[in-house]
């Protein structure tokens, strides 16, 4: 009987199990459903859990005043030395109960920090909270000693003050334009900091080219030839590209220079021999002083993407050619104010491009299709008006562009030499007792001023104009991370602004696009920036801007940027791999650059790997016939680009010679090229010169967005955008929390340096880094991934400690660091260990743009991994896309302060000098009333 019952029950259960399996329910789910009691228990637990956290969240997030009245009293009872401490400190920061136990602590801290920093009293309360360019002028009375010093020093040494240069040149530009003259004199002495060469001036007769290059101990130049110091420098010029002062002064360039300001050696170009980076900087500065040609044109940027454009010609410096004297003798002279000077220029001379995007975007939901023809490079059609002109009718920049295109068409791929010259140093190597982190690959050799990663402790460190080293404060505020971020931010902001208002399609690419995805700001570890353009837009950009200098709007800063386009634009394949980049825009003060690559149709063949990355964007019918396997004998000059019939006419001169030299394999390759070119054209497959492939549907339409505070574009379709990123960085890239030495904080919406987190996670991190034999791995170059587990477990506590350290750096109130981790263990005095990045400053500078980016992602990227719905919106930006897009089109300043402000303020702070703010809005007394704390 019992056996029968059990058998019946077993059969019933088996039938029930089969039904569950048919429903797709397996494993643990089936076991739970077989026992309803477990379901009741789990449901009850879920209700209790949800109720607990909903109460916790509602109490803590809806009303900060309910966090803890005791906690508020605790903060009010602190005796801060700096009144700013009361103003910017989040109320919750010292409440250990919330910080350590509440899962909502990061959100609470972020919400309170936003509210505190958006208090109008914070602006200008400290140099760290400056919201505009403040040191943009010199007053004739207040700054008379600096101006007098400048005049005296310019006759003896190299001294660069961008405010004086800009004021003098803009004043002269105004005079020229009013006289219908569109050309001004130019000297690099006025536009770059050449003070690095001052150390050589006193003994300039001894600092010959041979002595400099032969000094292995100081510079280690790996020149192959032995140099005889008894021979003149011209004897070795082909090897050294250098002339001594005496011979240089007899050259055509010598007439533009004063011999007493020459260092003894005069380089005509970058030396290709490897050396240490110190020599490379002297090489660059000497080249700019003695041989560098002037820019073909100068663009002085004004508001809303408008600019004054003028040609330049080689001249002596402004102290010798009369420009400076004319300026100070003007009856209205009251100092040097470039903002006033540019405002004085007649606005009728402003260039305004009618092709800008604003009107088009406002009529199309701020989304726009890129014309397919923009990806086809047909010079004969695009520049027909130039090709049809007689050479005598062409302006100099037009002639230069046409000559460049002709040269490109006439040069076979294997004969195209590498165009861009980076800083090539001995690598790997050490400096000041440690290994160098940079190898020079992210700097243009002509404008190199030393490695930013070594500043401010390197002997090659650029400073504010009148800097004198007196003594160092106990806590330096000058950071190489800040320096690089400021430089790159202003560079990108300028480039994006001019191309957008010129109506040229351009968007962040590669690492810059991934950085945009997280915050709309560059990664703090980025050494350069990357952007892409359709090849037609790139050609138009190069026509107008190649070899030009772009001067930043003086309201934002003193940036100056040189545009350089390659002479091989018609070559659209990877070929030898030496010219993957089509153009660069270079920061003249440092050599930092943004790479520009063009996308177009070519016969560069897709590999199986690249075909797979494109996935369903390539139809199966195309995949089945596509010749992905390359011939082993294939030559680089067998590839074609869709450049139009102009190519055939120009190549006709050497056609007979080429035809007779072609082998059967080359003939076959040409046939294959034509086939691939036709497939790419039919299926709208585009590539850059570094084997990145896209289809039209992947990159168009594009949508308005901001990057570094400037208007630009990004792929409009969410899936397409993810595909673009994932084909380059894998499918985990957009949700990866750690990159390089950094960790992304979802609540703060910023990147935090691993070493800063490590100070709060030493024990856990050290344990995870031990080898099997128990030996601890070095934490000197700690990667972000090593501290992520600890950070995610202790986020509230870690953020609170980072905030307290940041507050200490800003206010120097020692109460903030009392009792927290982060002191140097080897110091008996418990010396404070400085943060790699001050997160309060970062939050203040980027906040509004990151907030706008968050709203944009909420609108268009439903699967965005970094949503933070519980973070309050203290910026009050529109949530509706149309209103938000209109806000984006308003003029916005770069997120970060001007580099001149940064240098002046940090150097004054570090040397305990007085810091004079433009207007101190901080009016807070040390009080403990409740209004101060809310």
pLDDT in tens, 263-273: 999 999 999 99
In the sheet that holds 702-707, the strands lie side by side as 367-368, 702-707, 710-715
Does 47 have pLDDT greater than 60? no
**590 domain-assigned:** no
Percent of the chain with pLDDT over 70: 84
Beta strands in 142-235 (DSSP E): 183-186
Does 407 have pLDDT greater than 90? yes
Instruction: Using alpha carbons, list the distances in angstroms from residue 483 to 21, 80, 461.
Output: 61, 30, 11
Taking the CA of residue 289 as centre, how many other CA atoms within 13 Å lie in the half-sphere pointing to its CB?
32
Classify 174 as helix, strand or coil.
Answer: helix
- Residues 701-746 pLDDT 10s: 999 999 999 999 999 999 999 999 999 998 899 999 999 999 999 9
Classify 892 as helix, strand or coil.
Answer: coil
Q: What contacts 219, CB < 8 A, 6 or more positions away?
A: 212, 213, 275, 276, 278, 279
Which of 35 and 56 is assigned the larger pLDDT?
A: 35
Alpha-carbon span 688 to 580, nearest angstrom:
8
The helix (H) or strand (E) run that includes residue 565 is strand 560-565
Task: Please say whether the beta carbons of 586 and 292 come within 8 A.
Answer: no
Does 758 have pLDDT greater than 50? yes
Range of the domain at 776: 732-879
Helix residue spans in 601-717 (DSSP H): 608-614, 620-623, 646-650, 655-661, 664-683, 696-699
Instruction: Using alpha carbons, list the distances in angstroms from residue 720 to 370, 620, 715, 749, 797.
Output: 15, 19, 7, 24, 38
Beta bridge partners of 197: none
Supply 659's token pair: 């035809």
Does 822 have pLDDT greater than 60? no
Alpha-carbon span 74 to 96, nearest angstrom:
11
Quick one: which of 572, 599, 601, 585 has its CA closest to 544? 585
Q: What is the mean pLDDT of residues 389-409?
A: 93
Does 512 have pLDDT greater than 80? yes
Query: Residue 183 phi/psi, 5° resolution?
Result: -145, 140
Alpha-carbon span 461 to 795, nearest angstrom:
36
**577 domain-assigned:** no
* pLDDT given at position 469: 82
Which of 249 and 388 is assigned the larger pLDDT?
A: 249
Q: What is the mean pLDDT of residues 591-616?
A: 95
Query: What counts of helices (H) and strands (E) characterise the chain?
Result: 39, 23
Percent of the chain with pLDDT over 90: 71
Chain centre distance of CA 286: 27
The helix (H) or strand (E) run that includes residue 785 is helix 784-793
**182 domain-assigned:** yes
* pLDDT given at position 125: 93
Quick one: which of 896, 124, 59 has its CA closest to 482? 896
Q: What contacts 85, CB < 8 A, 6 or more positions away?
A: 78, 807, 811, 813, 815, 816
Number of domains in the chain: 2
Task: Please say whether the beta carbons of 712 and 705 come within 8 A.
Answer: yes
Most confident of 319-328, 466-475, 669-678, 918-927: 319-328
Query: Residue 311 phi/psi, 5° resolution?
Result: -85, 160
Supply 707's token pair: 């990057």
For tokens 């220079």, name the residue.
257
Alpha-carbon span 814 to 807, nearest angstrom:
9
Task: Please say whether the beta carbons of 521 and 705 come within 8 A.
Answer: no
Q: What is the mean pLDDT of residues 801-813?
A: 95
* pLDDT given at position 379: 86
What angle do helix axes 839-860 and 881-888 make, rounded to 10 degrees? Answer: 130
For tokens 């919406």, name the residue.
749
* pLDDT given at position 639: 56
What mean pLDDT, rounded, does the chain reach? 87
For tokens 């607990």, name the residue.
52
Classify 703 as helix, strand or coil.
Answer: strand
Does 805 have pLDDT greater than 50? yes
Does 929 have pLDDT greater than 50? no
Identify the domain boundary among 297, 315, 347.
Answer: 347
Biggest CA–CA distance in the chain, Å, is 121
**236 domain-assigned:** yes
Tell whether the torsion through CA atoms of 855, 861, 866 and 869 is positive or negative.
positive
Range 902-905 contact pairs with CB under 8 angstroms and sequence separation of 24 or more: 902/482, 902/483, 902/486, 903/462, 903/463, 903/464, 903/467, 904/135, 904/464, 905/127, 905/128, 905/130, 905/477
What's the 3-state SS for 713-751? EEECCHHHHHHHHHHHHCCCHHHCCEECCEEEECCCCEE
Alpha-carbon span 324 to 151, nearest angstrom:
10
Alpha-carbon span 912 to 893, nearest angstrom:
30
**523 domain-assigned:** no
Whether omega for the bond prior to residue 701 falls within 30 degrees of 0, making it cis, is: yes
* pLDDT given at position 304: 85
Identify the domain boundary among 879, 901, 929.
Answer: 879
Does 661 have pLDDT greater than 70? no
Task: Please say whether the beta carbons of 681 and 594 come within 8 A.
Answer: no
* pLDDT given at position 914: 86
Quick one: which of 355, 352, 308 has its CA closest to 173? 308
**930 domain-assigned:** no
- Residues 52-74 pLDDT 10s: 444 444 444 444 444 444 444 45
By CB neighbour count within 10 A (0-12 exposed, 13-18 middle, 19+ buried), where does 201 fall? middle
Chain centre distance of CA 139: 33
Query: For residue 95, what pLDDT band results from cuts at 50, 70 and 90?
Result: confident
* pLDDT given at position 264: 98
DSSP letters spanning 498-514? HHHHTT---EE-HHHHH
Query: For residue 663, what pLDDT band results from cuts at 50, 70 and 90?
Result: low
Query: Residue 657 phi/psi, 5° resolution?
Result: -65, -45
Tell whether the torsion through CA atoms of 874, 876, 880 and 883 is positive or negative.
negative
- Residues 853-896 pLDDT 10s: 999 999 999 999 999 888 888 889 999 999 999 999 999 999 99
Task: Please say whether the beta carbons of 826 and 789 come within 8 A.
Answer: no
Identify the domain boundary among 347, 378, 409.
Answer: 347
**368 domain-assigned:** no
* pLDDT given at position 927: 37
Q: What contacts 112, CB < 8 A, 6 or more positions away?
A: 64, 90, 91, 92
Quick one: which of 370, 361, 369, 503 has its CA closest to 882? 361
Alpha-carbon span 79 to 87, nearest angstrom:
13
Burial 386-424 (b: 16+ CB within 10 A, else e): beeeeeeeeeebbebbbebbbebbebebeebeebbebbb
* pLDDT given at position 872: 83
How, if at all, do strands 710-715 and 702-707 pair? antiparallel
The helix (H) or strand (E) run that includes residue 311 is strand 307-314
**296 domain-assigned:** yes
Quick one: which of 797, 876, 805, 873 has its CA closest to 838? 805
Beta strands in 733-797 (DSSP E): 738-739, 742-745, 750-753
* pLDDT given at position 110: 94
Query: Residue 703 phi/psi, 5° resolution?
Result: -120, 150
Alpha-carbon span 436 to 244, nearest angstrom:
31
Does 42 have pLDDT greater than 70? no
DSSP letters spanning 804-824? HHHHHHHH--GGGGTT-S-B-
The helix (H) or strand (E) run that includes residue 803 is helix 795-811
């Amino acid at each position: 009987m019992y056996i029968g019952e059990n058998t019946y029950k077993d059969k019933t259960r088996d039938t029930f199990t089969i039904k569950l399996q048919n429903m797709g329910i397996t494993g643990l789910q089936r076991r739970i459903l077989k026992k309803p009691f477990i379901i009741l228990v789990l449901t009850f637990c879920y209700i209790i859990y949800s109720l607990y956290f909903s109460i916790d969240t509602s109490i803590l997030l809806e009303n900060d005043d309910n966090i803890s009245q005791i906690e508020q009293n605790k903060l009010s009872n602190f005796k801060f030395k700096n009144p700013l401490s009361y103003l910017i400190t989040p109320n919750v920061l010292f409440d250990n109960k919330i910080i350590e136990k509440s899962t909502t602590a990061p959100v609470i801290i972020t919400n309170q920090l936003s509210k505190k920093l958006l208090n109008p009293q914070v602006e200008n309360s400290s140099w760290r909270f400056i919201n505009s360019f403040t040191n943009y002028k010199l007053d004739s009375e207040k700054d008379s000693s600096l101006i007098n010093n400048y005049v005296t020093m310019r006759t003896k040494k190299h001294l660069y003050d961008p405010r004086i240069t800009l004021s003098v040149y803009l004043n002269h530009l105004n005079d020229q334009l009013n006289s219908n003259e569109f050309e001004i004199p130019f000297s690099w002495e006025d536009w770059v900091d050449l003070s690095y060469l001052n150390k050589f001036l006193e003994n300039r007769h001894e600092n010959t080219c041979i002595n400099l290059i032969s000094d292995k101990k100081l510079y280690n130049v790996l020149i192959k030839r032995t140099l005889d110091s008894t021979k003149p420098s011209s004897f070795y010029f082909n090897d050294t590209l250098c002339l001594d002062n005496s011979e240089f002064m007899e050259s055509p360039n010598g007439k533009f220079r004063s011999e007493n300001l020459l260092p003894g050696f005069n380089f005509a170009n970058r030396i290709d021999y490897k050396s240490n980076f110190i020599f490379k900087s002297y090489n660059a500065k000497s080249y700019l002083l003695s041989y560098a040609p002037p820019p073909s044109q100068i663009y002085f940027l004004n508001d809303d993407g408008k600019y004054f454009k003028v040609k330049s010609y080689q001249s002596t410096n402004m102290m010798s050619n009369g420009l400076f004297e004319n300026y100070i003798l003007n009856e209205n002279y009251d100092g040097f104010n470039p903002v006033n000077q540019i405002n004085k220029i007649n606005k009728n001379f402003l260039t305004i491009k009618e092709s800008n995007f604003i009107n088009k975007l406002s009529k199309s939901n701020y989304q726009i299709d890129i014309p397919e023809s923009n990806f086809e490079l047909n010079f004969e059609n695009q520049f027909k008006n130039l090709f049809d002109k007689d050479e005598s009718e062409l302006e100099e920049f037009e002639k230069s562009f046409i000559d460049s295109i002709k040269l490109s068409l006439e040069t076979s791929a294997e004969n195209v030499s590498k165009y861009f010259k980076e800083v090539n140093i001995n690598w790997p190597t050490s400096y000041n007792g440690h290994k160098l982190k940079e190898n020079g690959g992210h700097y243009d050799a002509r404008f190199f001023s030393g490695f930013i990663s070594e500043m401010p402790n390197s002997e090659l460190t650029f400073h504010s104009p009148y800097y004198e080293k007196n003594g160092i404060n106990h806590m330096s505020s000058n950071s190489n991370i800040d320096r690089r971020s400021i430089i790159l931010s202003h560079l990108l902001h300028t480039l994006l602004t001019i191309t957008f208002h010129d109506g040229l399609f351009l968007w962040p690419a590669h690492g810059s696009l991934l950085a945009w995805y997280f915050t709309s700001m560059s990664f703090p570890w980025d050494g350069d920036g990357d952007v892409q353009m359709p090849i037609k837009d790139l050609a138009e950009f190069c026509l107008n801007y190649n070899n030009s200098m772009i001067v930043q709007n003086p309201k934002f800063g003193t940036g100056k940027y040189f545009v350089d386009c390659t002479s091989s634009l018609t070559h659209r394949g990877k070929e030898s791999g030496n010219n993957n980049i089509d153009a660069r825009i270079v920061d003249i003060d440092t050599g930092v650059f943004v790479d520009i690559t063009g996308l177009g149709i070519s016969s560069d063949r897709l590999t199986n790997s690249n075909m797979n990355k494109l996935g369903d964007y390539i139809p199966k019918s195309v995949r089945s016939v596509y010749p992905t396997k390359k011939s082993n004998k294939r030559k680089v000059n067998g590839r074609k680009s869709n450049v139009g019939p102009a190519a055939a006419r120009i190549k006709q001169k050497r056609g007979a010679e080429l035809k007779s030299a072609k082998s059967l394999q080359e003939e076959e390759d040409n046939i294959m090229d034509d086939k691939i070119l036709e497939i790419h054209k039919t299926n709208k497959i585009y590539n850059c010169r570094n084997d990145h492939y896209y289809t039209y549907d992947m990159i168009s339409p594009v949508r308005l967005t901001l990057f570094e505070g400037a208007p630009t574009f990004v792929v409009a379709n969410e899936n397409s955008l993810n595909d673009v990123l994932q084909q380059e960085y894998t499918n985990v890239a957009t949700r990866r929390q750690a990159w390089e030495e950094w960790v992304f904080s979802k609540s703060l919406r910023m990147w935090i340096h691993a070493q800063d987190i490590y100070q709060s996670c030493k024990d856990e991190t050290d344990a995870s880094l031990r080898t099997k034999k128990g030996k601890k791995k070095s934490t000197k170059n700690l990667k972000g991934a090593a501290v992520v587990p600890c950070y995610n477990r202790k986020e509230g506590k870690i953020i609170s400690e980072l905030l307290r350290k940041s507050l200490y750096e800003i206010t120097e109130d020692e109460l903030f660091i009392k009792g927290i981790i982060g002191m140097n263990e080897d110091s008996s005095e418990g010396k404070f260990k400085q943060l790699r990045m001050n997160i309060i400053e970062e939050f203040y500078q980027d906040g509004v743009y990151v907030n706008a980016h968050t709203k944009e992602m909420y609108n268009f990227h439903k699967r965005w991994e970094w949503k933070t719905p519980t973070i309050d919106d203290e910026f009050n930006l529109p949530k509706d896309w149309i209103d938000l897009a209109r806000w984006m089109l308003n003029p916005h300043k770069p997120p970060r302060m001007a580099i001149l402000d940064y240098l002046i303020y940090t150097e004054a702070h570090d040397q305990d000098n007085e810091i004079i703010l433009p207007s101190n809005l901080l009016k807070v007394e040390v009080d403990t009333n409740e209004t101060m704390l809310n």
